[in-house]
Chains A and B, each alone.
Chain A
Amino acid sequence: MSSVTPAIVSEKNSDDLSDQTLIHIEKLNAWYGDFQAIHDLSLEIPKHKVTAFIGPSGCGKSTLLKWINRMNDVVPGARAKGRLTIDDDHQGQRKEIDVLDPNLDVVGLRRKVGIVFQKPNPFPKSIYDNVAFGPRLHMKTSKSELDELVEWSLQKAAVWDEVKDRLHGPALGLSGGQQQRLCIARAIAVGPEVLLMDEPCSALDPSSTLAIEDLIFELRSQYTIVIVTHNMQQASRCSDKTAFFFEGRLIEAGNTEQVFTKPKNKQTDDYVRGKFG
């Protein structure tokens, strides 16, 4: 699998993208106070695929991303209307999580839908405590189980080899790229199904960026990944589906290969060729 380039994989799977949809967004409108940041947006996010959000600054990519796990709850004046649901396989039974339901258990939602931010934000604690933070909130684990979980998460996030000798050293002593992978490990450790990443590489140097892109490519066999990026190469390199936004509206969404080579929309064409934005 890892030897195949993403573009080929997505072409092969392009037909069944729709019936494996995990996140359904229908006619979503979102506001900050009186300012409408998202207009009538409908989008389907496929399961176990990487979906990239692209678009010029301020077009609402982060806003949409944060609504998927309700991080906007704490923003005063932020509200949304429309439908945003996530499929949930609860003990073999198909259920739907209505994300915008005001009575939803947000804590449970966020365990299912993890988020990684633009700037690495490890806690000022040890590396171990960073990764164990989420599990300690949600699960009842023995010391040895927790050790195992921490190691597994760090290995998944491809930083284990670099930190295994200083697990109890400060997380802030790591390099930016290592910190970002630590943050991914921290997000993985609670066992999410979806990983939201808001420009995860924008604060990193090219080699760390490459390491994270490889990681994203590895992770998508088990996780549904949504990544916001300003880097067109990155979007084309590591995503299966691409959605292009402009001024709060979805302009075009589809198979990454198609969006980048034969966009249906003129604006998309201009943007992916770097003519504006």
Chain B
Amino acid sequence: MSTLPSAIVNQDEQYLVDNARRRKQLSIWFYFLCVAIALISVVILVVLMVSIWSQGQSRLTTDLLTRAHSELEIERSGMWPAILGSLFVCGTCALVALPLGVGTAVFLEEFKPTQKVLRWIHGFVQLNIANLAGVPSIVYGLLGLTVFVYMFNVFGQIRVNESAGMEIMGYKHFYQVLTLEPGHVVFAPQTDPTVRQITFDEPFQAVDPDGNPIEISIWTPGTPKPTDPEIRRRTVRSGAIGGTITERNWYYFRLPFDKSFLSGGLTLALVILPIIIIAAQESLRGVPSSLREASMGLGATTWQTVRDVSLPAALPGIMTGSILAMGRAIGEAAPILVVMGAAVAKSSGPQHLMDDAVTMPVLIFNWAGRQQDEFKELSAAAIIVLLVILLLLNSTAIYIRQKVQKAQS
């Protein structure tokens, strides 16, 4: 007994009891503090929801979901093109960012090189990814502008109302020319793409708006004008001017990408790539190395180990990270504004790969800044729609994740 330190021997019993009670009380206080903090964030969320709901609920109509933005019929404006546009942009973003991100994470975590130089490169890549995650998204917007929209101008400059750059596939150029029948046009195939306009003074082969080939004859002023509408539709005034018009298939492909939804999606992919990589790395790191050893010990190659052991075990975590990243992508406005512009007049979703698009955040941004009360209400309603779409996406992803998790254990 005498060997015990004095601190243990000379205990004040009363102090021990008091101290224990104080600590217990402190613990209870801390508990309430935590509850309060948690409640504050819930309250803020509820206030936000209620105010948006009260502002926008009257505009939650089918018009909102099915029609396009309109300056003339403000109260019948809608966001259908923006919904489509957002889906296309985010779809591109997911298609690019998910495989790239998971692939990079697998490379960084599972294929750790043993040589010194490679290890150095490895560390360098790792450091840069951590840095990229902290770059503001508008900076990625500027990057996307030079890389995807203009492609450093190596494929030629983009000019307004002209097919510029290097067209690769999915397009046909025609000269569009008026016939004698008012309002009726025919198209002559363009042979030399550099000639933007030609003058017709000889009969030529053309197609009508339905795509049927027809023979076009020339009418010279001074001679009797044909009266039969059938013939008038196949006759062009001598000296008539044909301007270029381009027909684009959905797979129309051109470099540079210009202000297309593709540019927007690729830029968003850059924004969320570091997030996905880091999340995927984190969950791969969480897979116990004993599982990899077990797999290698059975004679699996590194690739087989990744495919059959590491990735399946890390999948729930990877999916959680991807869901969060996609949520960020769908609500991101700044880089989209830089890359795709702020125009909201488009009346349909993207028609081909190089088509431009409106996205929901840009439309909301535009509407919220308008003078008219209708637009203010519309923007609140559009926010509700955006939130609902976000919740739907998230809950499907969470559902899938739960299924995967259950299938594994």
Q: Which residues of A line the B interface, CB within 8 A? A: 69, 71, 74, 76-77, 106-111, 114-115, 117, 119, 121-125, 133-134, 137-138, 170, 172, 183, 186-187, 190
Contact = CB atoms under 8 A, between A and B. Distances in A.
Given A117-B293, A121-B290, A134 B119 contact: no
B294 interface: yes
A71 B297 contact: yes
Given A71-B293, A71-B296, A109-B299, 12 more contacts: A74-B296, A107-B299, A107-B300, A107-B301, A111-B298, A111-B299, A114-B297, A121-B293, A123-B295, A124-B312, A187-B297, A187-B298
B297 A76 contact: no
A40 B77 CA distance: 84
A111 B301 CA distance: 12
Contacts of B301: 107
8 contacts: A106-B299, A107-B299, A109-B299, A115-B293, A123-B291, A123-B309, A125-B408, A137-B298
B392 to A, nearest CB: 30
A135 to B, nearest CB: 9
A62 B164 CA distance: 67
B294 A124 contact: no
Contacts of B295: 123, 133
Contacts of B308: 133
B298 A190 contact: yes
Contact of B299 (A108, A121, A122, A124): A108
A121 B290 CA distance: 6
A125 to B, nearest CB: 7
Contacts of B114: 76-77
Nearest to B308: A133
B313 A133 contact: no
B112 interface: yes
Contacts of B309: 123
B299 A137 contact: yes
Q: Please list the 6 inter-chain residue pairs (A to B) with the smallest Cβ-Cβ separation, ordered nearest first.
A: A110-B299, A121-B290, A134-B298, A115-B297, A111-B299, A121-B294
A121 B288 contact: yes
Contacts of A183: 294
Contact of B300 (A77, A119, A137): A137
A186 B298 contact: yes
B304 interface: yes
Nearest to A108: B299
Contact of A110 (B288, B291, B292, B297): B297
B297 A124 contact: no
A137 B296 contact: no
Nearest to B114: A76
Q: Which among B119, B297, B304, B309 has the highest number of chain A CB atoms within 10 Å?
A: B297
A107 B296 CA distance: 8
B372 interface: no
B212 interface: no
B298 A133 contact: yes
A214 to B, nearest CB: 23
A77 to B, nearest CB: 7
Contacts of A187: 297-298
Nearest to A134: B298
Contact of A138 (B294, B299, B312, B408): B299
A125 B292 CA distance: 14
A124 B299 CA distance: 18
B290 A114 contact: no
A115 B292 CA distance: 13
A225 to B, nearest CB: 15
Contacts of A106: 299
A137 B304 CA distance: 8
A143 B114 CA distance: 39
A172 B409 contact: yes
Contacts of A114: 297-298
B297 A69 contact: yes
Nearest to B309: A123
A132 B235 CA distance: 77
Contacts of B291: 121, 123-124
B294 A110 contact: no
Interface in B295-345: 295-301, 304, 308-309, 312-313
Interface string B397-409: 0000000000011
A45 B309 CA distance: 32
B259 to A, nearest CB: 47
Contacts of A133: 295, 298, 300, 308
A115 B298 CA distance: 8
A110 B290 contact: no
Contacts of A111: 298-299
Nearest to A105: B299
Q: Which among B291, B296, B312 has the highest number of chain A CB atoms within 10 Å?
A: B296
A108 B308 CA distance: 19
A123 B301 CA distance: 16
A133 B300 CA distance: 9
Q: Which among A76, A111, A187 has the highest number of chain B CB atoms within 10 Å?
A: A76
Contacts of A69: 297
Contacts of A119: 290
Contact of A170 (B296, B298, B409): B409
A95 B298 CA distance: 22
B406 to A, nearest CB: 10
B294 A190 contact: no
Interface in B356-405: none
A125 B112 CA distance: 26
Contacts of B304: 137
A180 to B, nearest CB: 12
Contacts of B409: 124, 170, 172
A117 B300 CA distance: 16
B409 to A, nearest CB: 5
A119 B313 CA distance: 18
